[in-house]
């Protein structure tokens, strides 16, 4: 039985070794070596000059994540209480944008937000504007929220359909109004969905380079853009790029372990 | 509505998607009573409970609590607590916190809260389980946590929605006695929903038999069993032989081709009625001595008694007797005047 399961897992193990573990080791190696291949810490120590970019990336990703959570939470709850047929239709609508290519969706926002874009032309009819929307941090956050919102809705919805109506009724029965039902029952029970949602939105947001490039213009560089430049751009320096990737991974891991901490605390239950 | 009435339902109408579930139901429930709503699934008993709990607003009609109209009061403002069918314990809280939930919301101070929670856990026999997560408990234990969680708030009325449905037979029997004891100790009103007639008869002061969104009969378990008002009640409560009969005159009824003496009167002359005879009330005698005689078709051993099907003039009679007869044998059957229950014919 054990041998059998190993054989079944073998294709993925090969895949994982070749495309996940090996590249990770390479990143590690390049981050601590210079062009000549000898050990150095310069790549990492030189990163301090990019601190503002790191901070901006974390900040924008965090804002986008919070907005996603605030938008998705009530929606997911509402979805989970609909009848099954309606649930399926609404879920389809949530997923619909994901059937389209990521780049196309982001391009679409460019044409909407442009100085001569649809929104400004529409507002122009009422004598407003033109507003400066594209190439702002706001546009970047909008792009993140738009692209990653479904990744927040799905885990929240999945956890909320499992919350039985009778638990909500029990809370009300025991004297909880709307606010207390939310804070004492619904929120604690949906923590696993919240942490998964946060991870699934925050991680791609913090490492994106397409959204910031297309909607943020040149002035709102994120860490993802910076890394891309080291590998594909003019400043070609894969040692530095690896060091950046390494730091980004550490930042992401820290954030994830923080949210996991929340999850675990919740699981232990019964805070007296 | 007398002084003793704690909950009164007046002409409650509830429908789901235009399909009537409760058809103008009216019911008075007295203080400190153990009332059971009994009926087959879909009869509206759970719906009635949800209306009292405040989880369902009736389309029309009113709910009174101590003569105060609470029809539109949300559940969290009612002095009523519920034990849910699937217990609905909070999985993110331990046993202690589950029980303390209602008291915390009411900002009861920590010392009193602790006393009351522990007292309640003591009463349901779960001291020492405070720190356990409810999902690690057995069905019966979860059940008792749910009861403690509701009772700790000192509700005037406790609603129980088939609370023993998920338990096995032995545990169910134990919990029946337990619940009755808890109700008497706590000295409050229990409104209990079940489809199990035996459970209803065992525990209740008053049984409300429901069917199709209507109340069929309200009475003590003894009344309901011995004097069913119609064939539905007779059939639902216990086993019975139900026959069409003609009320010849007062104290005389004809069915199965025989004139029987009975104890009922006041029917119109030659009125068409239904007659109920319980299987254990039929006396088996030698064929020539019986008021009726029939052929034994089958005999099944049931533990305390034998259940026999006896064919008499095209009718199958169910008889419970401690003495077995042989299939194919011809036996006599006697029915005493007290054992004949006359009911008005159901209009349907």
CA distance linking residue B32 with residue B187, whole number of Å: 6
What's the rounded mean pLDDT across residues A126-144?
A: 88
What tens digit of pLDDT does each residue of B10-49 get?
999 999 888 889 999 999 999 999 999 999 988 999 999 9
A33's CB contacts (< 8 A; 6+ apart) are A39, A40, A239
CB atoms within 10 A of CB A251: 17
Confidence of residue B346 (pLDDT cuts 50, 70, 90): low
B128's CB contacts (< 8 A; 6+ apart) are none
B74's CB contacts (< 8 A; 6+ apart) are A172, A177, B54
Q: What are phi and psi of A58, to 5 degrees?
A: -65, -45
Instruction: Name the nearest CA neighbour of B149 among A62, A169, A96.
Output: A169
Inter-chain CB proximity A188 and B92 less than 8 Å: yes
Considering A130-144, A165-179, B331-345, the range whose residues carry the highest mean pLDDT is A165-179
Instruction: Name the nearest CA neighbour of A150 among A66, A76, A217, A211.
Output: A76
Residue B105 has its nearest CB partner, among A166, A174, A269, at: A174
Element (H, E) at A178: helix A178-181
B3's CB contacts (< 8 A; 6+ apart) are none
Q: What is the mean pLDDT of chain B?
A: 90
With an 8 Å Cβ cutoff, the interface of chain A facing chain B consists of: 164, 166-167, 169-177, 180, 184-185, 188-189, 266, 269-272
Q: What are phi and psi of B35, to 5 degrees?
A: -105, 135
What's the rounded mean pLDDT across residues A174-181?
A: 94
Residue B82 has its nearest CB partner, among A167, A173, A272, at: A173
pLDDT of residue B269: 83
- For residue A170, give how far its alpha carbon lies from the nearest alpha carbon of chain B (Å): 7
Complex ipTM value? 0.81
pLDDT of residue A269: 46
CA distance linking residue A251 with residue A30, whole number of Å: 19
pLDDT of residue A270: 41
Residue B105 has its nearest CB partner, among A176, A188, A269, at: A176
Confidence of residue B125 (pLDDT cuts 50, 70, 90): confident
Question: Could you tell me if B282 and B332 are in contact, meaning their C-beta atoms sit under 8 angstroms apart?
Answer: no
Residue A167 has its nearest CB partner, among B88, B97, B149, at: B88
Confidence of residue B2 (pLDDT cuts 50, 70, 90): low
CA distance linking residue A101 with residue A4, whole number of Å: 39
High-pLDDT (> 90) share of chain A, %: 57
pLDDT of residue B148: 93
Q: Which residues pair with residue B299 across a beta bridge?
A: B308
Question: Could you tell me if B226 and B211 are in contact, meaning their C-beta atoms sit under 8 angstroms apart?
Answer: no
What tens digit of pLDDT does each residue of B61-104 get?
999 999 999 999 999 999 999 999 889 999 999 999 999 999 99
Min mean pLDDT across A36-50, A139-153, A253-267 is at: A253-267
What's the rounded mean pLDDT across residues B296-325?
A: 89
Confidence of residue B204 (pLDDT cuts 50, 70, 90): very high
Domain ranges of chain A: 1-31, 44-266
pLDDT over 80 at A103, yes or no: yes
| CA distances from residue A40 to A32, A34, A45 in whole angstroms, order as listed | 5, 6, 10
Question: Could you tell me if A175 and A148 are in contact, meaning their C-beta atoms sit under 8 angstroms apart?
Answer: no
Please return the burial class of B220, using the count of CB atoms within 10 Å of its CB with bins 0-12, 13-18 and 19+: middle
Q: What is the dihedral of CA B85, B91, B94, B97, to 10 degrees?
A: -70
Question: Could you tell me if B279 and B305 are in contact, meaning their C-beta atoms sit under 8 angstroms apart?
Answer: no
DSSP string, A102-134: HHHHHHHHHHHHSTTSHHHHHHHHTT------T
B196 at the A interface (CB within 8 A)? Answer: no
Residue B15 Cα to chain centre, angstroms? 23
Q: Which chain A positions have a beta carbon within 8 Å of B74's beta carbon?
A: 172, 177
* Rg, C-alpha atoms of chain B: 24
Q: Is the dihedral of CA B219, B223, B226, B229 positive or negative?
A: negative
B74 at the A interface (CB within 8 A)? Answer: yes
Confidence of residue A1 (pLDDT cuts 50, 70, 90): low
Question: Could you tell me if B250 and B263 are in contact, meaning their C-beta atoms sit under 8 angstroms apart?
Answer: no
Inter-chain CB proximity B76 and A173 less than 8 Å: yes
Residue A112 Cα to chain centre, angstroms? 23
Angle among Cα B205, B206, B209 to the nearest 5 degrees reads 145
pLDDT of residue A255: 85
| CA distances from residue A114 to A122, A145, B306 in whole angstroms, order as listed | 12, 18, 89
CA distance linking residue B178 with residue B191, whole number of Å: 15
Q: What are phi and psi of B53, to 5 degrees?
A: -70, -20
Question: Could you tell me if B273 and B345 are in contact, meaning their C-beta atoms sit under 8 angstroms apart?
Answer: yes
pLDDT of residue B265: 82
CA distance linking residue A84 with residue A61, whole number of Å: 33
Element (H, E) at B311: strand B306-312
What is the per-residue burial (b if ≥16 Cβ within 10 Å, else e) of B149-184?
bbbbbebbbbbbbbbbbebeeebbeebbebbbebbe
Inter-chain CB proximity B76 and A175 less than 8 Å: yes
Question: Could you tell me if B226 and B341 are in contact, meaning their C-beta atoms sit under 8 angstroms apart?
Answer: yes
What's the rounded mean pLDDT across residues B154-165?
A: 92
What topology is assigned to A44-266 in CATH?
MetI-like fold (1.10.3720)
What's the rounded mean pLDDT across residues B95-120?
A: 95
Q: What are phi and psi of B100, to 5 degrees?
A: -80, -10
Considering A67-71, B125-129, B312-316, the range whose residues carry the highest mean pLDDT is A67-71
Question: What is the set of domains in chain B, with CATH numbers?
Answer: 5-231 (3.40.50.300), 240-344 (2.40.50.140)
Q: Which chain A positions have a beta carbon within 8 Å of B86's beta carbon?
A: 164, 166
What is the per-residue burial (b if ≥16 Cβ within 10 Å, else e) of B283-313?
bbeeeeebbbbbebeebeeeeebbbbbbebe
pLDDT of residue A272: 35
Question: Could you tell me if B245 and B257 are in contact, meaning their C-beta atoms sit under 8 angstroms apart?
Answer: no
pLDDT over 90 at A124, yes or no: no
Q: Which chain B positions have a beta carbon within 8 Å of A167's beta carbon?
A: 88, 90
CA distance linking residue B10 with residue B27, whole number of Å: 7
pLDDT over 80 at B221, yes or no: yes
What's the rounded mean pLDDT across residues B300-307?
A: 89
| CA distances from residue A13 to A10, A17, A25, A27, A142 in whole angstroms, order as listed | 5, 6, 16, 20, 38
């Amino acid at each position: 039985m054990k041998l059998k399961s190993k054989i079944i897992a073998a294709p993925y193990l090969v895949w994982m070794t070749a495309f996940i573990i090996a590249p990770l080791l390479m990143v590690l190696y390049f981050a601590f070596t210079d062009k000549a291949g000898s050990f150095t810490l310069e790549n990492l120590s030189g990163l301090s000059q990019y601190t503002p970019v790191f901070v901006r990336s974390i900040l924008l990703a965090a804002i986008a994540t919070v907005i996603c959570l605030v938008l998705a939470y009530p929606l997911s709850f509402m979805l989970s209480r609909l009848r099954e047929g309606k649930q399926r239709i609404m879920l389809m609508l949530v997923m619909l944008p994901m059937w389209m290519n990521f780049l196309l969706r982001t391009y679409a926002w460019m044409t909407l937000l442009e100085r001569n874009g649809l929104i400004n032309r529409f507002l122009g009819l009422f004598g407003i504007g033109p507003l400066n929307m594209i190439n702002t941090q706001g546009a970047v956050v909008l792009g993140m929220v738009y692209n990653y919102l479904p990744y927040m809705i799905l885990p929240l919805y999945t956890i909320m359909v499992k919350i039985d109506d009778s638990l909500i009724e029990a809370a009300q029965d025991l004297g909880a109004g709307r606010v207390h039902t939310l804070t004492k029952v619904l929120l604690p029970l949906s923590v696993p969905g919240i942490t998964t949602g946060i991870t699934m939105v925050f991680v791609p947001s913090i490492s994106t380079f397409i959204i910031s490039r297309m909607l943020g213009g040149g002035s709102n560089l994120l860490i993802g853009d910076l890394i891309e430049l080291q590998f594909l751009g003019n400043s070609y320096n894969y040692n530095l790029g690896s060091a950046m990737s390494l730091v980004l991974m550490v930042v992401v891991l820290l954030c994830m372990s923080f949210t996991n901490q929340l999850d675990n605390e919740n699981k232990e239950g019964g805070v007296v | 509505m007398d002084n003793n009435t704690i909950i009164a339902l007046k002409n409650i109408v509830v429908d789901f998607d235009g399909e009537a579930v409760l058809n103008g139901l009216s019911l008075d429930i007295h203080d400190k009573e153990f009332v059971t709503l009994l009926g087959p699934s879909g009869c509206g008993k759970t719906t009635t409970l949800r209306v009292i709990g405040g989880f369902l607003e009736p389309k029309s009609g009113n709910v009174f609590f101590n003569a105060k109209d609470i029809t539109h009061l949300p559940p969290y403002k009612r002095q009523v607590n519920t034990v849910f069918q699937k217990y609905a314990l909070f999985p993110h809280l331990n046993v202690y916190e589950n029980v303390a939930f209602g008291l915390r919301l009411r900002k009861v101070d920590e010392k009193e809260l602790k006393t009351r929670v522990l007292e309640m856990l003591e009463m349901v026999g779960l001291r020492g389980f405070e720190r356990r997560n409810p999902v690690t408990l057995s069905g019966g234990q979860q059940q008792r946590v749910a009861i403690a969680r509701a009772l700790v708030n000192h509700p005037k009325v406790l609603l129980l929605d088939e609370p023993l449905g998920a338990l096995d037979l032995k545990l169910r029997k134990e919990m029946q006695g337990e619940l009755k004891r808890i109700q008497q100790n706590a000295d409050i009103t229990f409104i209990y929903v079940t489809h199990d007639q035996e459970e209803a008869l065992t525990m209740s002061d008053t049984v409300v038999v429901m069917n199709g969104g209507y109340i069929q009969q309200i009475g003590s378990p003894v009344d309901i069993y011995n004097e069913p008002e119609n064939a539905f009640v007779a059939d639902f409560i216990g086993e019975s032989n139900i026959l069409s009969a003609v009320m010849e005159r007062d104290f005389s009824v004809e069915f199965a081709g025989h004139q029987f003496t009975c104890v009922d009167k006041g029917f119109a002359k030659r009125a068409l009625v239904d007659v109920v005879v319980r299987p254990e009330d039929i006396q088996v005698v030698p064929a020539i001595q019986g008021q009726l005689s029939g052929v034994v078709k089958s005999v099944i051993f049931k533990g305390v008694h034998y259940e026999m099907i006896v064919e008499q003039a095209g009718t199958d009679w169910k008889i419970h007797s401690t003495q077995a007869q042989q299939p194919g044998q011809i036996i006599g059957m006697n029915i005493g005047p007290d054992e004949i229950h006359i009911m008005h014919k159901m209009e349907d």
